[in-house]
Amino acid sequence: KIVGNNVHPGTAKGVMVNALSLAARIHAEVPADEAPETTEGYEGFYHLASMKGTVDRAEMHYIIRDFDRKQFEARKRKMMEIAKKVGKGLHPDCYIELVIEDSYYNMREKVVEHPHILDIAQQAMRDCHITPEMKPIRGGTDGAQLSFMGLPCPNLFTGGYNYHGKHEFVTLEGMEKAVQVIVRIAELTAKRGQ
């Protein structure tokens, strides 16, 4: 949250603090080459998901992701440093309030503790004539939350494409294959338990 000070533009010199200008300065400090659109694979990022406001007040919402816990913590510290730098020397009634809420950690650190889960999922895919591809998930999933609650959940496919975009879709064939893999995982897990 960014709180500015709105006054008439004609008498603004030395008094107005434009919250939108502060928001722009904050975003300009975030490394431009560490955004989702400029990174891939296991590279972490800062994602400006929304920004709204007026001269008086502005809000920015970032999603911060990294595949390494130390780098993830460093990214959060970077955002704190940026807020402090941009907020330095503001009018006494103006401020920048940074709220950091951890929503997802990278599930990999929990899933790798149970390698048999990946072995079963990969075997199920091969049994269903699918070549397994191990790729990093560059966003949060329900599986990440479940993994940290003690139920390790690797992210499998659903048959969907272009997630969260206006061209998102899923094919019937892809969904059928996903169901076949889930059934095969259950069968292999049951056999393993015998």
- Summarised one tens digit per residue, pLDDT across range 48-73 is 999 999 999 999 999 999 988 899 99
The larger pLDDT score, comparing residue 25 to residue 154, is at 25
Tokens describing residue 27: 């975003």
Query: What are the chain's domains?
Result: 2-96 (3.30.70.360), 108-193 (1.10.150.900)
pTM score of the predicted model: 0.76
Q: Distance (Å, rounded) from C-alpha 159 to C-alpha 126?
A: 16
Paired tokens of 55: 């001269």
Rounded Cα–Cα distance for residues 28 and 6 (Å) = 22
For residue 4, the number of C-alpha atoms closer than 13 Å in the C-beta half-sphere is 22
More reliable by pLDDT, 116 or 92: 116
Helix/strand/coil for 57: strand
pLDDT of residue 163: 82
Cα dihedral 19, 25, 29, 32 in deg (nearest 10): 100
Q: For residues 116 and 108, what is the distance between their CA atoms, to the nearest angstrom?
A: 14
pLDDT recorded at residue 141: 73
Per-residue confidence at 125, pLDDT binned at 50, 70, 90?
very high
The residue ranking higher by pLDDT, 107 or 185, is 185
pLDDT at 153 over 90: no
Distance CA 128, CA 19 (A): 55
Indicate the SS3 state at residue 42. Answer: coil
pLDDT digits (tens, 9 = 90+) for 27-37: 999 999 999 99
What tokens were used for 127?
């049994």
C-beta atoms surrounding 163 within 10 Å: 11
Would you state the pLDDT for residue 151? 84
What rounded mean pLDDT belongs to the chain? 90
pLDDT at 67 (0 to 100) = 85
The torsion angles phi and psi of 171, rounded to 5 degrees, stand at -100, 150
Report pLDDT for 165.
Answer: 85
Mean local confidence (pLDDT), 94-99: 92
Distance CA 63, CA 46 (A): 6
